[in-house]
Amino acid sequence: MKELRFHGKVIVTGSGSIQHLKNVDMQRAFIVTGGNSVFANGSYAAIQSILEQKGCAVCLFSGIPKNPPVETVIEGIAKMREFRPDTVIGLGGGSAIDAAKAMALFYDHPELDIIDSFKKGIFPQTRTTQLIAIPGTSGTATEVTPFSVLTFRDLDIKIGGKAVGLIADIAILDADLTLSMPKNVVAETGMDAMTHAVECYIHPGLDDFTQVLAAGAIEGLFNYLPESYATGSLAAREKVHNYQSIAGCAFSNVGTGMDHGIAHAFGGKFDYAHGLLIAIALPYVLQFNSRDPVVKEKLAYLSRRVGKDFIQGIKELNKELNIPRAFKDLGLSRVEFAANFDLLVKNSLKGATRFNPIPVSTEDMQYILTCLYEGKDIE
């Protein structure tokens, strides 16, 4: 028996869909955002205006960094206790929304220690504070997933939490908010979405429902991500925005794999953007996993769907999006890589790597990370 959950109560899509906030019952909204983009592109001002016109009090908590540390979430919860919101709105990139989700859940459970919960993997499942997610980037799909990923600097790793209470009640997919994304963010978040769909599709837990969603998202992203990157047209941005969320509905019911394990290890240690790490690692992870006959058969099917060898297609897409080929191209020195190699291997074997289609040994990971750093294909 398997229980599937595809989102919260409502997904609202289409240009101008932030206007849906006019119809949502709320009196006190706590808005969580990242850096300057939501202010520069006017999305925060537009949402603030909608809420204030309906008499809703607003409190802003901004400055969520990429790879948000748990300490930032704790700080946000403390501010929530002062403001006493009935609604939390995560606005912007995946980091801001992940932080907002964790804030909302643990605000409702003051009896629990968030650090202890994440480290032990034990989470409350219920939440009474309303949670709304409004992504301004197209990749993490955290607006429809039961996950929140936070950084723990004491462990040099990112840890993901999973709970029904982390699923947003309302997800608003307004592609207008994505039009100001820089090209590198379009590329990195888009390949994050691609990886969600691909790792879901080759996952041993794939089922009939998620197979259709994952395969459809993969094909859609192959078709529209290059145009979204090259031209930035609203039509292409909207397609990618929707397909990344479809990928989220798929993988949140199945899981990911080694690519995410590696990205969480390197992101937790070096603070590189998650989507960038994910994108670079994807072809190498697929080369390793294609050793498995079932995965090889699935990749052959995807090759037919996209009209070319799938792994080669991913490499070509990365090149088209100006994604570096290897981790050394990120500016990570050989000395620093070597000094942290054992830690990176150990942490890369944790998390989603435990659910990789084929088991990964320490020796395997040593080989994989070496190839990833040097840019050498995995045999």
Output the domain CATH number for residue 237.
Answer: 1.20.1090.10
Same domain, 65 and 207: no
Contact between residue 181 and residue 225 where contact means Cβ atoms under 8 Å apart: no
Q: What is the CATH classification number for the domain harbouring 116?
A: 3.40.50.1970
Q: Which of 141, 324, 362 is nearest to 245 (CA)?
A: 141
pLDDT interval class at 4 (50, 70, 90): confident
The residue-averaged pLDDT of 168-172 equals 97
pLDDT at res. 8? 77
Q: What is the mean pLDDT of the chain?
A: 97
Q: Which of 45, 51, 46, 48 is nearest to 23 (CA)?
A: 51
Same domain, 187 and 60: no
Q: Which of 379, 184, 171 is nearest to 291 (CA)?
A: 379
Same domain, 205 and 106: no
Same domain, 72 and 21: yes
Q: Give the ranges where the chain is alpha helix by DSSP (H).
A: 37-40, 43-53, 70-83, 94-107, 114-120, 183-201, 208-230, 234-251, 258-270, 274-289, 293-306, 310-320, 334-339, 341-348, 362-374
Does residue 139 belong to any structural domain of this protein? yes
pLDDT at res. 50? 98
Does residue 214 belong to any structural domain of this protein? yes
pLDDT at res. 6? 76
The residue-averaged pLDDT of 189-203 equals 98
pLDDT at res. 2? 74
Same domain, 327 and 258: yes
Same domain, 188 and 269: yes
Same domain, 125 and 206: no
pLDDT at res. 3? 77
Does residue 4 belong to any structural domain of this protein? no
Q: Give the ranges where 89-182 is alpha helix by DSSP (H).
A: 94-107, 114-120
Residue 74 is part of which domain span? Answer: 10-178
pLDDT at res. 315? 98
Burial of 64 (0-12, 13-18, 19+ CB in 10 A): buried
Distance CA 243, CA 247 (A): 6
Residue range 250-288, pLDDT digits in tens: 999 999 999 999 999 999 999 999 999 999 999 999 999
Does residue 38 belong to any structural domain of this protein? yes
Residue range 54-63, pLDDT digits in tens: 999 999 999 9
Same domain, 213 and 96: no
pLDDT at 84 over 80: yes
Residue range 136-162, pLDDT digits in tens: 999 999 999 999 999 999 999 999 999
pLDDT at res. 107? 98
Same domain, 129 and 144: yes
Number of domains in the chain: 2
